[in-house]
Amino acid sequence: MSGKPPLAEGEIFRTACACGLLRSGVDEKTGEVLTQAVLAQRISWCADLVAGMVSRLLAEHWNTADMEVLASGVDAGGRRLPSNAWMALRRLGWAATTPEGVKVNDRIVRMAQEQAGRALRSARWRADLTAAVLATWPADPRRRTAQEWEQVRRAVPGGEHLPSGVIKSRTRQAAAFLKANGRLPVDVFELEGIPKVPRMLLLAACDGQQASLERSGTDPGRVLLRLQLPSRPDPRSYRDWTWVACPISLPPTVPAGAVLHLPTLRVTGRQVHADLAYSYPVPKARRTGHTVAVGVDWGLNTLLSAGALRLHEDGRVTALGSGGQFRAAGVLAKQHRLRRLSERLHAKAGHYQRLAGRSERHHLVGKLAVLRDEIRHVSDRRTNLNAALGWAAARWAVDQAIASRATVIYVEDLRSLEARGMGATLNTRLSQQVRGQIVDRMRHLAAETGIAVVTTPARNTSKHCPQCLTPLRHRKAPDKPTVAGWKWAVCPHQSCRWQGDRDHGAWRRIAARGLTHQAKTVTDKTTGHMVIRAVVDKLEASAVITKTYRGDRSKTGPTRRKPPRPAPRRRRAPSPTRPHGQAGKRLEGHAPTGRRLPRAAHRHQGVNTISTPTTGHQPRGAALGAGFHFHAHASPPRWETIPETPSDSGSL
C-alpha cells in the first residue's frame, strides 16, 4: 500500500511500527501450504543472498574516499543524489554482484544496495567524530583539560551541544587501539572495520514486482503479504523463484484507517518476524503557548517523579496536586541480579578462554561454548527487561500528562551524566539506567495525542527550593528516621519553609523552568527533538511556584448542632429462608447457627491477647482460638510489626 490521505489543519503524520509473525504461507505456483519452518527456510535463503551481496559491496567501498563521495550528495556530473540509498548507489555506479551461477531479479539487488547505502551513510557522523578526536588527541586521554575540551568540541560538527560521554567513549576506543597496535588509527574505517550485516529483507526498497501488501476487505486486522521467494538456496533461473502469499494478523494498536508500508522481514530460528510500518494523522505538537506542563525527574530508587504545573496569565506558576512517583525497585533489583550473573559468566568464560588458548581440541572448548550461549541468553533477558521497563515508565509519564490535560512534558537532559565519584554500587546503578530508552518511548507515545516532549538543562533542579530558589538542606525523611539517606529537603528560608521529597521538588523546578523558558525552545536539526539549550537568569528568577492558600478554616463560633439520626436497622428486608445445607446467609437476629464453638482454654496465648475470664460470667468463645470475632487482640505498635525497609522499596 502506498500514498497518504490528506491532513487537516494542525495535523501531521505519525509513523509507528507493529511487529507481526509469519506463521504460514501458500505457494501460488503449486498451491502447497508452507509451514512456518519451511517458510522460514525459504526466507532465510533469500536473506543469505542479500547479506552476501551487502558484505561484498561494503568491502569494496568501506573507505574514507567513497564515504565522502556518497555523503557529498552529488554525483560526478554535479547532479544531486536521490534520497533513496539504492538509487544513489546506482547513480554512482556501485553495483552489487551475485555469486556465479545464481540468478536473482533486480529487486533483490535493490534491497542489497539499500542496506549497504544506509550503512555507508550512517558512518559519516562516526567518521567526523573520530577524525576530530584523533586530530585533537589529548596529552592524557583519561582526563582532558578545559582547553582540550574546547578544541575537540570545535573540531566536531555540532560539538557544542554534544554530550561529553560520546566523546569520551570514542576516546576510549581509540586508546584501546593505541594500546594494542602502538599507534593511533588512521580513521574510523580502520578503527571499527567492516560492520556485520544483519540477515533481513528490506521490502521497502522493492515495488510490486517483488512484494505487495493488501489489507483484507472483511477484516481490517488482517493483511496479505505476497513476495517472491527462491525454492532452493542457489536459484539457477527465474523458474526457481515463486510467489508466496503470507497472511499477517495486525495488533489492535494499528488504526483501521492507517496507511501500511511494506515490512522488513527478520529470521530468528524457525520464526519470521515482520516489522510493519504504518502512518496515520495525529495532532501536531507545539513548541510554545503551553499553560499546563508536566515535569519529570529521574531517580535511582524512585525511577520517575512527575507532577503538573499551571502557568497563569499574570505569570504566576501554581502546582496542580502533589504529583506521583513511578517505583521500579523490583525490576531494578532483578536487573542487578542479572548484571551480577552476567559478570560472573564473563569472568568464567574469560578464564576458560585463557586456559584453552587457541587449541580447538582442549577439553574446555565445549564448556566455553555452553557459557557463551548462557551469556547470550542472560543478555537477551536483560534487553527484554530494559525494554519492558522503558515502555512502562514512558506510558506512566504520558498518562500523567493526559490526566492533567497538559500539552507538554519537560524532562531534564541527563545525556552528559557520568557515573563516577559515587562508589562502585551507585556508579554501576547509574550506568545501567535506561533513561535514553524511556525518553525515546515517551516521545513516541506523546506524539499520538499531540503532547510535546522537551528536554531542559538539569542544573540545580534538586538543589534549589521550588518556591523561593533558596539552596535546600537535605536530611533524613521524617517518616523513616532509621533509614539512611538524604531524600528529604527543607528550605531554610524563614518566609518559605517548604519541605518535601527532593524528587518532588525537582519535578517542580523542571516544569517551572520549562514553562518560563518555553520561548527558548528550539528543534534540533539532527534529531528533530525539541530542546531548551541554556538557562536564562532573568527567566529563571520568575520560575518559582506560588503558594496556594486555602480559606481561613479557624473556628469562629460554636459548632452547629446537627439533628440526631436514628440508627438504621440491620436489615430492612425480610430474612431469607434457611437452606437445608451448610451454606447460605446468616439468619436475622440471634438465631443459633447450629455450629459448636471450639474451646481453646489451654492453648498458648500471646502477650497481646486478653486473658480468659476465670470468675463470674464466662462467655462462650472468649478463649484464644475459639473463632473469628470471639476473641480480642490488642494491636501491637506499628514500629514493632512492620520491619524497616530500605528507601528504594516499591513495586512497578
* 301 in the same domain as 257: no
pLDDT for residue 609: 47
pLDDT for residue 651: 37
More confident residue, 590 or 214: 214
* Residue 426 within any structural domain of the chain: yes
Report the percent of the chain where pLDDT is more than 70. Answer: 81
* 431 in the same domain as 303: yes
CATH number at residue 518: 3.30.420.140
368 alpha-carbon distance from chain centroid = 33
* Residue 596 within any structural domain of the chain: no
- Residue 66: which pLDDT band, with cuts at 50, 70 and 90? very high
**Tell me, what amino acid is at 555?**
K
Q: What is the mean pLDDT of residues 457-464?
A: 87
Of 72-76, 193-197, 424-428, least confident by mean pLDDT is 424-428
* Residue 93 within any structural domain of the chain: yes
Neighbouring residues of 57: CB distance < 8 A, sequence distance ≥ 6: 89, 94, 96, 97, 112, 113, 116
* 212 in the same domain as 77: yes
Of 304-308, 317-321, 463-467, 621-625, least confident by mean pLDDT is 621-625
* Residue 537 within any structural domain of the chain: yes
CA distance readout (Å), 593 to 98, 376, 584, 586, 590: 88, 63, 11, 8, 9
584 pLDDT more than 80: no
Average per-residue pLDDT for the chain: 83
More confident residue, 620 or 107: 107
pLDDT for residue 433: 62
Task: Provide the grid cell at 470.
Answer: 533558596
636 pLDDT more than 80: no
pLDDT for residue 483: 73
pLDDT, tens digit (0-9, with 9 covering 90-100), for 249-273: 998 889 888 899 999 999 988 899 9
More confident residue, 147 or 596: 147
314 pLDDT more than 50: yes
Question: Quick one: which of 164, 172, 174, 161 has its CA closest to 135?
Answer: 174
**Tell me, what amino acid is at 463?**
K
- Residue 644: which pLDDT band, with cuts at 50, 70 and 90? very low
* Residue 297 within any structural domain of the chain: yes
CB atoms within 10 A of CB 561: 6
pLDDT for residue 178: 92
- Residue 569: which pLDDT band, with cuts at 50, 70 and 90? low
244 pLDDT more than 90: yes
Among 541, 571, 590, give the residue marking a domain's end.
541
* 107 in the same domain as 23: yes
**Tell me, what amino acid is at 5?**
P
Spatial separation of the C-alpha atoms in residues 54 and 626, rounded to whole Å? 80
Among 282, 298, 313, give the residue marking a domain's end.
282
* 69 in the same domain as 117: yes
Q: Which domain holds residue 128?
A: 11-137+184-282
* 396 in the same domain as 475: yes
- Residue 652: which pLDDT band, with cuts at 50, 70 and 90? very low
* 309 in the same domain as 270: no
* Residue 606 within any structural domain of the chain: no
* 400 in the same domain as 271: no
Spatial separation of the C-alpha atoms in residues 265 and 275, rounded to whole Å? 7
Coil vs helix vs strand at 213: strand
600 pLDDT more than 50: no
More confident residue, 94 or 549: 94
Among 510, 541, 572, give the residue marking a domain's end.
541
430 pLDDT more than 60: no
520 pLDDT more than 90: yes
Assess contact for 135 and 155: CB atoms under 8 A: yes
* 198 in the same domain as 313: no
133 pLDDT more than 90: yes
Q: What is the mean pLDDT of residues 143-153?
A: 90
pLDDT for residue 581: 56
- Residue 497: which pLDDT band, with cuts at 50, 70 and 90? confident
Question: Quick one: which of 279, 214, 307, 210 has its CA closest to 501?
Answer: 307
122 pLDDT more than 60: yes
Max intra-chain CA distance, the chain: 115
More confident residue, 219 or 172: 172
CA distance readout (Å), 518 to 10, 109, 283, 514, 539: 20, 48, 19, 6, 10
3-state secondary structure string across 608-643: CECCCCCCCCCCCCCCCCCCCCCCCECCCCHHHHCC
* Residue 573 within any structural domain of the chain: no
pLDDT for residue 81: 92
* 323 in the same domain as 200: no
Q: Per-residue DSSP letters for 388-433?
A: HHHHHHHHHHHHHHHHTT-SEEEEE--TT----SSHHHHHHHHHT-
pLDDT for residue 603: 46
204 pLDDT more than 80: yes
Spatial separation of the C-alpha atoms in residues 13 and 204, rounded to whole Å? 18
* 95 in the same domain as 34: yes
Q: What is the pTM of this model?
A: 0.76
Q: What is the mean pLDDT of residues 101-125?
A: 93
Q: What is the mean pLDDT of residues 117-141?
A: 92
pLDDT for residue 350: 92
Of 115-124, 152-161, 202-211, 449-458, least confident by mean pLDDT is 152-161
Averaging pLDDT over each range in 541-550, 580-589, 622-631, which range is the top one? 541-550
Q: What is the mean pLDDT of residues 286-315?
A: 90
More confident residue, 351 or 560: 351
**Total domain count for the chain?**
2
* Residue 557 within any structural domain of the chain: no
* 93 in the same domain as 61: yes
For 194, half-sphere exposure in the C-beta direction (CA atoms, 13 angstrom radius) is 12
Task: Kindly state the DSSP code that residue 254 receives in the 8-state scheme.
Answer: S
23 pLDDT more than 70: yes
